[in-house]
């Protein structure tokens, strides 16, 4: 098929391409030499092709997890004790949707909302990158926000609220405006057609009486009805701050939570701590890599140099795949990557050790081919066993009884990706490099 | 070299290590971290200098119990508390504002884990470990066409797991090493490390089996001699990366890297000195049983 030289050229081109993708977006260039001061920033353009109607666009950015770029990870547990199985399923689905709508209205880029279920416990996991005010986010997301309009009860018990069938479900939209008289923030609501009719009826019935507006069974305002209201809109005045009014509008627009939830887990990491982790792991990674590279050359000499080249190619390919797939990189994920760098040379070591034995019996080229062939069995079997464990940890089929989120998964994904790529670089790349460079230099 | 002659010594050594581990586990238990026990971890960086005592005192006055407080850098404190509810959290924020008197305080991280998360994590981990073990057992048994290979590999794998758990029980007592999410990950990774190395040695036995009709005892010796250098060299490269992570990777993943380190060392040792001796011993027992018949 292809000669080794052609294969090496293909590998080289692939590496250049992957190297381009792996580069950071901005490359600061600082140089002060012999009176010349160079301070420039090179910007690597992203893929942006358009050919007639076909547009190919792809951003080559590393996606960092919450622990690295800062943000909040919140887990809410739903109280589904009063529901049967089928009700539970649809309630959780709509719970997820409502929370997702609230997150989107709150205005966070790249949020992640998912459900998890384990032994009857239903949870919604919310990831909010870059969020600073976690308290506020929790308040907005976790409140049921069931809006009801109530009538005041009979004269015997005037404080008794009698909820009507007009609820938050009858809302078309909610917006924050300011009261013309007081200048205070209020929430203006528009009803749906149906809701407008209900509202007209209720106001007609209660002229001259107060009509309390309840949020989660707690009265937020208690306006007195002056006359029947037909227009289908109303204003909730309360002692709101602007922020509170905004939050209420978000909750009303997104709809009430179908079941009450409580916060069971909160993890917030500030951006500074995340940046510190990134720089520390890069430093650790580079020093570790340097030790591995040196070790290989010291132990295997010329062969070691080839293994080192293959290892660098491994690093570049892996990094570019993280960007292309894309893999969300977390701190354990980086550890998984660094670990796979340590493991990537394993197949080379296996082959080189084998080569030492075979070299005694055959000539150089033969020994090389035989070593690759013989070592392959053990490389394959051993790596498949590792991949099995990584597969269980990464849980790509989303089984509820295994880990579904968090650090375990991030680690497993980078580790298994690393193993898969190391099989390619260890076998294909170094084999062809050896064929071309070592064999020719021997001749 | 006649590695198998010293089988008893290997078994005794492993036995002693595991016993120490089990003893530590029985005596001190595991030092469970936030992920398992539930609680609050808060790390703050203050602009100006604030003494540890004043923080402790203020929290105490407000009825917030601090389990432990430690410095993690200049004017940086890491505080552990019971899981705070909303009101308690507001209280804590108020205290911080009073303490700093207007200068800034940076919340580096804030984690609250409710008590229900831990048991779930344990169960999920056990399931994951069981599934992985069974899958590996079947894979090894299938590839080497013998259950004795599979079971010996799995036993060596459990050996490494016990050593890792035992050493963390010990280090939990003396160095406050905590058991968290990441430890679980390291534990499960150790499973695959262990079997990875074992398979490489087994592969040599399998290859020689086809060529020479010798006893497992001799084939095992031959295989260990042939794979010893590669085994050590490979572990070195992994250990280089891990040592770099332990020393430079920061506090968050230090214990994770240490756990992986112990797993790697145990995994490297257990392949020639536990898995293979077990295989040879198994073979001995089978032969004796046949002989009796």
Residue-wise pLDDT tens digits, B112-162: 988 877 888 888 888 888 998 999 899 999 988 888 999 999 999 999 999
pLDDT, average across residues B90-105: 82
Asked whether residue A439 carries a pLDDT value surpassing 70, the answer given is no
Asked whether residue A158 carries a pLDDT value surpassing 60, the answer given is no
Beta strands A328-329 and A63-64 are parallel
Q: Find which of B117, B238, B242 to mutate to test the A interface (most A CBs within 10 Å of its CB).
A: B238
Q: Is the domain of A295 the same as that of A435?
A: yes
Q: Is the domain of A301 the same as that of A414?
A: yes
Structural element, H or E, at residue B207? helix B181-211
Torsion angle, alpha carbons of A12, A15, A17, A21, to 10 = -170
pLDDT, average across residues A208-224: 83
User: What count of residues does chain B have?
Assistant: 293
A350, part of any domain: yes
pLDDT of A29: 64
Say which of B107, B196, B250 has its CB closest to residue A382.
Answer: B196
CA distance A106 to B29: 45
Q: What is the mean pLDDT of chain A?
A: 84
CA atoms within 13 A on the CB side of A171: 26
Q: Is the domain of A432 the same as that of A310?
A: yes
Asked whether residue B293 carries a pLDDT value surpassing 80, the answer given is no
B86-95 long-range Cβ contacts below 8 angstroms, 24+ apart: B86/A138, B88/B64, B89/A135, B90/A135, B91/B62, B91/B63, B91/B64, B92/B42, B92/B59, B92/B62, B92/B64, B94/B62, B95/B58, B95/B59, B95/B62, B95/B64
Please indicate whether residue A36 or residue B25 has the higher confidence score (pLDDT): B25
User: What count of residues does chain A have?
Assistant: 443
Asked whether residue A443 carries a pLDDT value surpassing 70, the answer given is no
User: Which two three-digit tokens encode residue A382?
Assistant: 């051993």
Structural element, H or E, at residue A78? strand A71-78
- Per-residue pLDDT tens for B235-259? 999 999 999 999 998 888 899 999 9
Tell whether A291 lies on the interface with B, counting CB pairs under 8 A. Answer: yes
pLDDT of B16: 95
pLDDT of A157: 58
Handedness of CA A355, A358, A363, A365 (dihedral sign): negative
CA distance B222 to B27: 42
Total tally of structural domains belonging to chain A: 3
How many beta-carbon contacts under 8 Å exist across A and B?
214
pLDDT of B154: 92
How far away is chain A from the Cα of B35, in angstroms, using its nearest Cα?
A: 10
Structural element, H or E, at residue B170? helix B147-175
Q: Is the domain of A351 the same as that of A318?
A: yes
CA distance B73 to B109: 14
Please indicate whether residue B96 or residue B268 has the higher confidence score (pLDDT): B268
In 3-state terms, what secondary structure has residue A312?
Answer: helix
A175, part of any domain: yes
Q: How confident is the model at residue A298 (pLDDT cuts 50, 70, 90)?
A: very high
Percent of chain B with pLDDT over 90: 38
pLDDT, average across residues A123-141: 87
A282, part of any domain: yes
Domain coverage including residue A229: 147-241
Tell whether A116 lies on the interface with B, counting CB pairs under 8 A. Answer: no
Q: Is the CB of residue A266 less than 8 Å from the CB of residue A133?
A: no
With b for 16 or more beta-carbon neighbours within 10 A and e for fewer, the B199-236 pattern comes to bbbbbbbbbbeeeeeeebbebbbbbbebbbebbebbbb
Q: Is the domain of A278 the same as that of A419?
A: yes
Q: Is the CB of residue A114 less than 8 Å from the CB of residue A124?
A: yes
- Per-residue pLDDT tens for A28-44? 666 666 666 766 666 77
User: Which two three-digit tokens encode residue A305?
Assistant: 């140099």
Q: Which residue has the tokens 């990831």?
A: A127
A7, part of any domain: no
pLDDT of B221: 92
**CATH 1.20.1640.10 is right for the domain spanning B3-34+117-292:** yes
How far away is chain A from the Cα of B216, in angstroms, using its nearest Cα?
A: 18
Q: What is the mean pLDDT of chain B?
A: 88
A227-232 long-range Cβ contacts below 8 angstroms, 24+ apart: A227/A203, A228/A200, A228/A203, A228/A204, A229/A199, A229/A200, A229/A203, A230/A196, A230/A200, A231/A196, A232/A172, A232/A190, A232/A191, A232/A192, A232/A193, A232/A195, A232/A196, A232/A199, A232/A200
Say which of B206, B245, B256 has its CB closest to residue A284.
Answer: B245
Query: Where in chain B are the domains?
Result: 3-34+117-292, 39-113
How far away is chain A from the Cα of B18, in angstroms, using its nearest Cα?
A: 24
How far away is chain B from the Cα of A394, in angstroms, using its nearest Cα?
A: 10
pLDDT of A405: 62
In 3-state terms, what secondary structure has residue B113?
Answer: strand
Q: Which residue has the tokens 């398979």?
A: B199
Tell whether A188 lies on the interface with B, counting CB pairs under 8 A. Answer: no
Selection from A151-155, A169-173, A337-341, B23-27 with the highest mean pLDDT: B23-27
Tell whether A134 lies on the interface with B, counting CB pairs under 8 A. Answer: yes
Q: Which among B284, B11, B278 has a CA at the least distance from the CA of B152?
A: B278
Selection from A48-62, A266-280, A403-417 with the highest mean pLDDT: A266-280
Tell whether B257 lies on the interface with A, counting CB pairs under 8 A. Answer: yes
Say which of A119, A268, A403 has its CB closest to residue B110.
Answer: A268
A311, part of any domain: yes
Say which of A276, A277, A389 has its CB closest to residue B191.
Answer: A389
**Binary contact (B185, A412; C-beta < 8 A):** yes
A13-18 long-range Cβ contacts below 8 angstroms, 24+ apart: A14/A317, A15/A313, A15/A316, A15/A317, A17/A320, A18/A316, A18/A317, A18/A319, A18/A320, A18/A321
Domain holding A130: CATH number? 3.30.70.3400
CA distance A136 to A128: 12
A50, part of any domain: no
A10, part of any domain: no
Q: Which residue of A has its CA nearest to B120?
A: A118
**Within a 10 A sphere around the Cβ of A394, how many other Cβ atoms?**
21
Q: Find which of B198, B241, B243 to mutate to test the A interface (most A CBs within 10 Å of its CB).
A: B241
A360, part of any domain: yes
Beta strands A54-58 and A63-64 are unpaired
**Binary contact (B109, A341; C-beta < 8 A):** no
Q: Is the domain of A234 the same as that of A283?
A: no
Q: Is the domain of A151 the same as that of A140?
A: no
Among A174-188, B156-170, B261-275, the minimum mean pLDDT is found in A174-188
**Binary contact (B108, A269; C-beta < 8 A):** yes
Chain A contacts in chain B segment 150-189 (CB below 8 A): 181-182, 184-185, 188-189
Q: Give, in words, the CATH class of B39-113.
A: alpha beta
- Per-residue pLDDT tens for B181-240? 889 888 888 888 888 889 999 999 988 888 888 888 999 999 999 899 989 998 999 999
Q: Which residue of B has its CA nearest to A350?
A: B230
Q: Which of residues A231, A250, A268 is at a domain's end?
A: A268
Tell whether B247 lies on the interface with A, counting CB pairs under 8 A. Answer: yes
Q: Is the domain of A172 the same as that of A276?
A: no
Tell whether A341 lies on the interface with B, counting CB pairs under 8 A. Answer: yes
pLDDT of A155: 59
Q: Which residue of B has its CA nearest to A276?
A: B250
CA distance A347 to A345: 6
Tell whether A396 lies on the interface with B, counting CB pairs under 8 A. Answer: no
Q: DSSP assignment of A124-180, as one string?
A: EEEEEET---HHHHHHHHH----EEEEEE--SSSTT-EEEEEEEGGGEEEEEEEE-T
CA distance A310 to A422: 9
Beta bridge partners of A162: A151
CB contacts, 8 Å: A389 with chain B = 132, 136, 188-189, 191-192
pLDDT of A34: 67
pLDDT of B272: 93
Q: Is the domain of A135 the same as that of A264?
A: yes
Q: Which residues contact A243 (CB under 8 A, 6 or more apart)?
A: A136
Q: Which among B290, B288, B291, B282 has a CA at the least distance from the CA of B7?
A: B282
Say which of B45, B188, B244 has its CB closest to residue A288.
Answer: B244
- Per-residue pLDDT tens for A93-131? 889 999 998 888 888 878 888 888 877 788 899 999 888
Q: Which residue of B has its CA nearest to A299?
A: B233
**Binary contact (B188, A393; C-beta < 8 A):** yes
Q: Which residues contact A131 (CB under 8 A, 6 or more apart)?
A: A71, A72, A108, A137, A268
Please indicate whether residue A317 or residue A389 has the higher confidence score (pLDDT): A317
Domain holding A167: CATH number? 3.30.1360.200
**Binary contact (A403, B124; C-beta < 8 A):** yes
Say which of B86, B241, B249 has its CB closest to residue A280.
Answer: B249
User: Which two three-digit tokens encode residue B280?
Assistant: 């040879």
**Binary contact (A292, B109; C-beta < 8 A):** no
pLDDT of A38: 66
pLDDT, average across residues B48-54: 83
Q: Is the CB of residue A339 less than 8 Å from the CB of residue B267?
A: no
């Amino acid at each position: 098929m292809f000669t080794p030289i052609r294969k090496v050229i293909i590998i080289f081109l692939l590496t250049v391409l992957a190297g381009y993708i792996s580069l950071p977006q901005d490359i600061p260039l600082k140089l002060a030499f012999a009176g010349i001061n160079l301070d420039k920033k090179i910007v690597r353009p992203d893929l942006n092709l358009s050919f007639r109607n076909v547009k190919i666009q792809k951003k080559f950015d590393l996606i960092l997890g919450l622990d690295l770029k800062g943000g909040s990870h919140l887990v809410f547990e739903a109280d589904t004790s009063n529901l049967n199985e089928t009700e539970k399923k649809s309630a959780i689905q709509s719970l997820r949707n409502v929370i997702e709508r609230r997150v989107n209205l709150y205005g966070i880029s790249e949020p992640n909302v998912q459900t998890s279920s384990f032994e009857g416990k239903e949870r919604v996991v919310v990831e909010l990158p870059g969020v600073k005010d976690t308290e506020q986010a929790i308040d907005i997301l976790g409140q049921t926000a069931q809006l009801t309009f109530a009538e005041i009860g009979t004269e015997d018990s005037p404080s008794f609220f009698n909820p009507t069938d007009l609820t938050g479900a009858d809302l078309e939209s909610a917006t924050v405006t300011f009261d013309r008289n007081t200048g205070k923030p209020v929430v203006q609501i528009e009803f749906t057609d149906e809701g407008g009719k209900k509202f007209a009826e209720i106001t007609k019935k209660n002229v001259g009486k107060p009509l309390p507006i309840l949020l989660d069974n707690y009265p937020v305002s208690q306006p007195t009805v002056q006359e029947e209201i037909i227009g289908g809109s109303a204003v909730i005045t309360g002692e709101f701050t602007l922020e509170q009014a905004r939050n209420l509008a978000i909750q009303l627009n997104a709809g009430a939570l179908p079941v009450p939830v409580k916060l069971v887990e909160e993890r917030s990491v500030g951006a500074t701590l995340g940046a510190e982790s990134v720089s520390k792991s890069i430093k650790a990674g580079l020093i570790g890599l340097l030790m591995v590279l040196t070790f290989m050359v010291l132990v295997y000499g010329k062969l070691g140099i080839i293994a080192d080249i293959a290892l660098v190619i491994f690093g570049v390919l892996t990094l570019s795949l993280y960007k292309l797939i894309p893999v969300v990189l977390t701190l354990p994920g980086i550890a998984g990557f660094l670990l796979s760098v340590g493991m990537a040379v394993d197949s080379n070591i296996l082959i080189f050790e084998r080569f030492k034995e075979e070299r005694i019996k055959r000539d150089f080229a033969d020994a090389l081919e035989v070593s690759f062939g013989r070592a392959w069995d053990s490389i394959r079997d051993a790596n498949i066993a590792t991949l099995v464990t990584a597969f269980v940890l990464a849980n790509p089929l989303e089984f509820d009884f295994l880990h579904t989120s968090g650090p375990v998964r991030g680690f497993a994904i980078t580790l298994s990706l690393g193993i898969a790529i190391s099989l390619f670089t260890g076998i294909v790349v170094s084999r062809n490099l050896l064929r071309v460079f070592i064999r020719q230099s021997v001749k | 070299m006649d590695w198998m002659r010293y089988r008893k010594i290997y078994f005794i050594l492993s036995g002693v290590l595991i016993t120490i581990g089990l003893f530590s586990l029985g005596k001190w238990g595991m030092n469970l971290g936030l992920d398992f026990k539930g609680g609050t971890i808060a790390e703050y960086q203050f602009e100006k200098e604030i003494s540890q005592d004043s923080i402790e005192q203020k929290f105490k006055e407000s009825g917030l119990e601090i389990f432990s407080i430690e410095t993690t850098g200049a004017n940086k404190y890491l505080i552990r508390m019971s899981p705070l509810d909303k009101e308690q959290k507001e209280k804590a924020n108020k205290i911080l504002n009073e303490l700093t008197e207007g200068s800034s305080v940076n919340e580096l991280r804030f984690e609250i884990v409710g008590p229900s998360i831990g048991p779930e994590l344990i169960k999920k981990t056990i399931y994951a470990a069981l599934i992985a073990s069974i899958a590996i057992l079947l894979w090894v048994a299938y590839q080497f066409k013998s259950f004795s290979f599979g079971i010996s590999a799995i036993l060596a794998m459990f050996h490494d797991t016990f050593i890792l758990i035992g050493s963390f029980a010990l280090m939990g007592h003396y160095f406050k090493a905590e058991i968290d999410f990441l430890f679980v990950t390291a534990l499960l990774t150790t499973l695959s490390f262990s079997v990875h190395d074992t398979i490489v040695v087994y592969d040599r036995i399998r290859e020689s089996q086809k060529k020479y009709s010798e006893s497992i005892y001799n084939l095992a010796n031959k295989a260990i001699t042939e794979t010893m250098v590669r085994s050590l060299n490979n572990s070195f490269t992994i250990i280089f990366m891990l040592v770099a992570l332990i020393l430079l990777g920061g506090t968050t993943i230090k214990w994770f890297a240490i756990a992986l380190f112990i797993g790697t060392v145990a995994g490297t040792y257990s392949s020639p000195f536990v898995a293979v001796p077990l295989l040879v011993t198994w073979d001995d027992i089978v032969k004796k049983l046949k002989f009796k018949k």
